[in-house]
A and B are shown apart, each in its own frame.
Chain A
Amino acid sequence: DIQMTQSPSTLSASVGDRVTITCRASQSISSWLAWYQQKPGKAPNLLIYKASSLESGVPSRFGGSGSGTEFTLSLSSLQPDDFATYYCQHYNSSSWTFGQGTKVEIK
């Protein structure tokens, strides 16, 4: 099975900062990667699909990149609404796998 490893587990940042979250796959997954945002007590929300495609309605300050085994989610200028937990997700051969999550906290 392909394992997805996110880093860091927790990230402390301030409003206006640029932040980057990394997701690494244990083997090449081409561009089959998505990113989700989850706020406490709420369902996850799809941000990015196919590694770099922005979901409709998601602010352009969110960006995704990468292919193969290393992927990044970037937020160009952190806003108060962006403090949340972020998950990467991969699909492979009838199995879907999430990373363990990255919590973005207020510094």
Chain B
Amino acid sequence: SAVISQKPSRDICQRGTSLTIQCQVDSQVTMMFWYRQQPGQSLTLIATANQGSEATYESGFVIDKFPISRPNLTFSTLTVSNMSPEDSSIYLCSVEVARQETQYFGPGTRLLVL
């Protein structure tokens, strides 16, 4: 398994600003992912964070809006840029450990945009 932490745990931001969310894992992992969970909804995959190369984005998500970094095998960041109230969601990172197939999730970052 893996222990995952996220910072911040929650934030309230103003429209037009940007927020960077950090995800730290206690062991080296191959696959890291970022999900969004809008209020009352299920999880939607934003992108796969690739170590040493650009992230792979899902349909409907673009790098300009959600830039992702992954400088090493234990850390990744997701930035939510030029925020609007529609970006109010929980953002979760997840990891897959060494082909175990199971994905483990961080506690999430609860974002409210005013």
Q: Do A and B bind each other?
A: no
Name A residues whose Cβ lies closer than 8 Å to a Cβ of B: none
